[in-house]
Amino acid sequence: MSRNGGGPREIAIPVSVFDSLRTELAKAAGALETVRALHHAGYQAGLAAAGNVNQEAGGHAFNLSVSGFWSNLTDYFSKRGWGTLTRSDPHPGIGLLGSSDWAEASPDNVTSDGSCSFSTGFLSGLLSQLTGGPIAVLEVKCRTRGDGSCGFAFGSETAIHNLHGHLLEGEDLNAALEAL
């Protein structure tokens, strides 16, 4: 269902819905399946949300200048209460998105396995749809795990897979990016 002939219809819900979904899914399916389900749901939602991003960009978000594209995208998230998003390009094949106030994170409920699984999928679906090709997203920091901010690395599936491998080997993000 669309609104005013544009992108998908949107509603406002409390941020606590992320905690409720995560808790109830974990009870029913377990922790790993919860992460997968939230990621897949986020991806599908991100695909659909690209229509709204395009509409707000005058029809073609990816045809904007680089700074115009990212400005439009950060405005999209900020206006909807997701949080303030910043972008950096620490590596030629990988970009980083960061936020010190990301909505899905639960800094009051810190846990070692906390994550913004829905957001990771959402960003992947949204960026993939806008660019017309697959964009992988990996959460590299999370306020729910006690980090000072949330961070999402994005790039090709190969680049993100390689980054993830380095992080799994215990390298910090900067060392992992340098090793690529």
Question: What CATH number corresponds to the domain at position 108?
Answer: 3.30.1380.20
Domain with 113, as residue range(s), is 16-179
With respect to residue 10, please indicate whether it lies within any of the assigned structural domains.
no
Distance, CA of 169 to CA of 180 (rounded, Å): 13
With respect to residue 9, please indicate whether it lies within any of the assigned structural domains.
no
Work out how many domains the chain is built from and give that number: 1
Q: Which residues of 104-116 are buried (b: 16+ CB within 10 A; e: fewer)?
A: bbbbeeeeeebbb
With respect to residue 47, please indicate whether it lies within any of the assigned structural domains.
yes
The alpha-helical segments, DSSP class H, found in 15-116 are 16-29, 31-56, 66-79
With respect to residue 131, please indicate whether it lies within any of the assigned structural domains.
yes
Backbone angles phi, psi at 115, to 5 degrees: -160, 165
The pTM is what?
Answer: 0.93
pLDDT in tens, 9-47: 888 899 999 989 999 999 999 999 999 999 999 999 999
pLDDT in tens, 153-165: 999 999 999 999 9
